[in-house]
Amino acid sequence: MELGKRYDDVRCSLRVLLGVLLKPRSTLSYLSTARRRWWWVVALLMVAALAAQGFSYSKAELRFSFQRQLEYYESLSVAERQMMFPEPPVEPQASTFTLSTAIGVGAKIVATIATWLVWAGLLYLASTFLGQNRAGFGAFYGIVAWTWIPYVIRNAIQAIAMTLTGSAIYNQGLSGLVIDRTPVPITPIWQPPISPSAGDQVLAAFLARFDVYVIWNLVLLVLGVAALSHLSGKKALLGTLVIWLLFTLLSLLPALTGLNQGFRL
């Protein structure tokens, strides 16, 4: 009996996953009234995708660093090699499961869960302000989790791409159009790094948020809010965009203060 119940739960969660991908409007409408929303399925998928992305990036970056060192070594004369390198660069064979990589992946997982909580809280407050009084915070949390499926797919695709090509992805979204974060080649003559202007930093941080998965996520959020709160499409769109703009402005603060190019939420 218990085993049959668990099997039904898994089967229903898989149906919901396929529904969000193929029929998002009707699936999110179903989730808005369902007793169970199976948000843990998305959480498990997100953990797996983030772990795969983190380890693939670490391995690709290690290989890229070795290739740059090897190119620099081969550009030197024999005398320079003997003076600067007792031995030629050796391709690293260490495991990509390092403590720093694990900490980075863990931090991303915690940040994702925190982002779901904040999004759910803000959507609940915005929807209540706009006139809904039927859905609670927990319902919004379940819907927000399912709308993160596009980011799960993005992380998985990036992990596969980095594994197959052996190249790390240094520029997220469209940020590479403004600032190329790819490490520069090693040269025998030291050259001071070219620091981007504050405007370029902010623009790169803003463009880093733009890709097809962000648009997909916003569409799912609007559909989910409309189904859950019974608000009109325009009100659901208004509330979602206001919150997204708030997150975007917060993500640009590090770039505005000159700390880095910003972070993704």
Candidates 155, 152, 143; CA nearest to 236 is: 143
Tens of pLDDT along 148-163? Answer: 999 999 999 999 999 9
Residue 117 within any structural domain of the chain: yes
Mean pLDDT of the chain: 82
Residue 223 within any structural domain of the chain: yes
Joined together, the tokens standing for residue 169 give 């992805």
Residue 83 within any structural domain of the chain: yes
Residue 22 within any structural domain of the chain: no
Write phi, then psi, for 253 (nearest 5 degrees).
Answer: -60, -45
Residue 16 within any structural domain of the chain: no
36-40, 107-111, 168-172, 261-265: the lowest-pLDDT one: 261-265
Tens of pLDDT along 177-228? Answer: 888 887 766 655 555 666 777 788 888 888 888 899 999 999 999 999 999 8
Q: At 90, which amino acid appears?
A: V
Say how far apart CA 227 and CA 146 lie, in whole Å: 13
**More confident: 64 or 220:** 220
Residue 27 within any structural domain of the chain: no
Cα-based distances in Å from 234 to 84, 173, 247:
65, 27, 20
Tens of pLDDT along 13-39? Answer: 788 888 999 999 999 988 888 777 788
Total domains in the fold of the chain: 1
- pLDDT of 96 above 70: no
Provide CB contacts within 8 A for 189, sequence distance 6+.
none
Q: What is the pTM of this model?
A: 0.83
Range of the domain at 116: 40-256
